[in-house]
Structure 1
Amino acid sequence: DDYSTIEKDHGRIEQRHCRICSDVDWLKQRHDWEGLAAIVEVSLTTERNGTSSTYCRYYICSLAMTAKAALYVVRSHWGIENKLHWVLDVVFKEDHARVRSGNGAKNMAIVRHIITNLLRQVQGKASLKVKRKKAAWSVEFLEKLLRQEL
């Protein structure tokens, strides 16, 4: 099964092609992967300013699905990942964090996720970055944020 999409946006053309191979019994036996249902290949060709680049990624899947559904799942997963990591980098400058050893990095990631979720609960149009600054400047706002009274 295969499925393709073409999108023109932000000055580039992106063509995605997804193929699914459901004939995976040989692989399940060879690697003892119980529950394996398919191998998914997703290729992305991007054209911008006359330059073209192609990337290919492979996934294993435990669900039987169409190529169209698989492409949707892959794009949704990366959309969520990119959205979260963009927020963590912009709001918390996570890429510049110096904590890298032991459990410190994991602990700080958990703290950042909790804070992000708390800040998202605050009503209003202010960005997460602005809400974070307000919490740093105002003890009253910070206390209400932690008590979830906003």
Structure 2
Amino acid sequence: MRTLTTTTWMNDDLDWPHVGQVFRLEGERRIGGQKTVEVVYGITSLSRDEADVDRLLDFNRAHWGIENGRHHTRDETLREDRCRVRKGNAPRVLASLRNVGVYLLRGMGGSSAAAATRELSAHPRKALDPLHAPGSTSE
């Protein structure tokens, strides 16, 4: 169960340009019979006319769809969070390369990028298969 509450009464007190509303999202779930509650606070520049509670919930779902679909894979399968590169363009370049890697791994079929990674670890020559496009020639 999720409950989202919004308010505008804090807008004047926040030193945040263009604040439209503040919200509190409370989610409840059961894991192994034990109830857990997570509370998340957020700020948006969208007014209540631009984004009612249902629209804010849609935005939240979309955010987690991206997080679970791409970022989680990069974090867990490719260990992106362990990367120590932080300066210049290198972090963006590496993120782009990881996105290409995830795309290629998912294109291999299988159940997940993690499963494809395990398969390639066991059979490294399979990593070259996507590079042999139909109509290409090799010696």
> Do these two structures clear the TM 0.5 threshold for a shared fold by scoring above it?
yes
Which residue of the partner structure matches residue 59 of structure 1? 42
Shift of 1:140: 4.9
Output the CA distance in 2 between the equivalents of 1:50 and 1:144: 50
Structure with the higher strand share, 1 or 2: 1
Q: Cα gap change, 1:20/1:32 in structure 2, threshold over 3 Å: closer, same or farther?
A: closer
* TM-score for both structures, normalised by structure 1: 0.62
Identity of aligned residues (%): 20
Which residue of the partner structure matches residue 113 of structure 1? 99
Residue 143 (str. 1) matches residue 126 (str. 2)? no
Output the CA distance in 2 between the equivalents of 1:48 and 1:102: 36
* Count of aligned positions: 126
Shift of 1:19: 0.6
Shift of 1:23: 3.7
Residue 133 (str. 1) matches residue 117 (str. 2)? no
Which residue of the partner structure matches residue 77 of structure 1? 63
**Structure 1 residue ranges (4+ consecutive) displaced by more than 6 angstroms after TM superposition:** none
Shift of 1:100: 1.2
Output the CA distance in 1 between the equivalents of 2:3 and 2:127: 52
Shift of 1:53: 2.2
Amino acid in the other structure paired with 1:37? G
Output the CA distance in 2 between the equivalents of 1:23 and 1:101: 41
Structure 2 counterparts to residues 24-43 of structure 1, below 5 A: 24-27=10-13, 30-34=14-18, 36-43=19-26
Shift of 1:16: 0.9
Amino acid in the other structure paired with 1:141? D
* TM-score for both structures, normalised by structure 2: 0.65
5+ residue gaps, structure 1, are 1-14
CA RMSD of aligned residues (A): 3.4
Which residue of the partner structure matches residue 6 of structure 1? none
